[in-house]
Amino acid sequence: MRANMLPTEDFERDPSAFTDRVTSDGRYGRVAEPGRYRLVVSRACPWAHRVVMVRRIMGLEEAISLAVVDPLQEVIDGEPHWVFSEGNGDRDGKDPVLGIHALREAYLARDPHYTGGVSVPALVDVATGELVSNDYDMLSVDLATEWGDLAREGAPSLYPELLREEIDTVSAWIHRDLNHGVYRAGFAPDQEVYEDAVSNVFSRLDYLERRLAGHRYLVSDHITLADLRLWATLVRFDAVYHGHFKCNRRKLSEYPVLWAYARDLYQTPGFGDTTDLLHIREHYYYVHTGINPSRIVAVGPDPYGWEEPHYREALNGEPFRGDTPPDPVPENERVTDLEFQG
């Protein structure tokens, strides 16, 4: 996720610049091994959030360490950058493991001539300090499928082979109409592009309202990567996309089925306990000066709504279906209490 994108043309997301894969057998040159890699994320970013959720659900906290950048960013050489501050790094504003202040240092360690964008999530090789990958989709898939020997006992199958075609199909239209669609609306350069994007966003939400009325989860009777990819957008919808990105035909909380589905997942380990609504609001409203030049950060909505009963247990399905939920979040990775997120 990059920031401060100006509404000058129809929004297009930059392709991932570095796409090395880390696998159990090292068939692409890098082997999954404990302590070798560090995952750098922003808790504001939906693309990074899905990777954090996979890491947590699979129980990979000890295998892959986590670094969280400051949500407000810092202008370096005229461009906003993801950086570590005293609150997210050491007293010198550096990551205590990688020893860097700005994430771009890992990009430049990989390619000293790199001039492209710097985005999260970023998997960094601790031994060399070099960026390995900023491919959020493949990072999610590989953490779900290639780190099995290092995953916790009882970890679920988030990307089972028999369901991969359906998961990929569902994920494709979720990406087009929702994950990407809200950004098309928020950074639309003109009324026509904006209205087209908003129409697609709400047509897809209307469809999901019907689809999930009789099914607890998107693809199967347990959570899969499709649910994580959708939920990363849903949890941000009322907080930032509804107002900040002008996706204001309806709120998520005005969709009875979708709102219950979203609360169900929020209350499932790996979802709500990796979500920081304060980071989300601060980043979007403060950094996107092209659409919010005042940098006034919205105070709502009330975060305690996420803890209301959802009653989705009546539907067929269980989040981990025979497997077990992850252990409590490690002390050093706990997010801000809801009391301070509202």
Residues 204, 206, 212, 213, Cα dihedral to 10°: -170
Q: Two tokens at 298?
A: 């919205």
Q: Two tokens at 195?
A: 């209205």
Beta strands at 131-133 and 64-68: parallel, antiparallel or unpaired: unpaired
Backbone CA torsion sign across 338, 157, 258, 165: positive
Rounded distance, CA 172 to CA 179, Å?
10
Q: Is 107 an active-site residue?
A: no
DSSP string computed for 14-60: PPPS-B--EESS-TTSEE--TTSEEEEE-TT-HHHHHHHHHHHHTT-
Q: Which of 37, 136, 159, 183 is catalytic?
A: 183
Q: Is the Cβ–Cβ distance between 37 and 23 less than 8 Å? A: no
Q: Is 183 an active-site residue?
A: yes
Q: List 123's β-bridge partners, or say none.
A: 39, 133
> 176-179: long-range contacts (C-beta < 8 A, 24 or more apart)?
176/200, 177/201, 177/203, 177/204, 178/204, 178/205, 178/230, 178/233, 179/46, 179/229, 179/232, 179/233
Q: Is the Cβ–Cβ distance between 126 and 147 less than 8 Å? A: no
Backbone CA torsion sign across 183, 185, 186, 189: positive
Q: Which of 37, 45, 285, 286 is catalytic?
A: 45
> By CB neighbour count within 10 A (0-12 exposed, 13-18 middle, 19+ buried), where does 13 fall?
middle
Rounded distance, CA 98 to CA 69, Å?
12
Positions annotated as catalytic residues are 45, 183
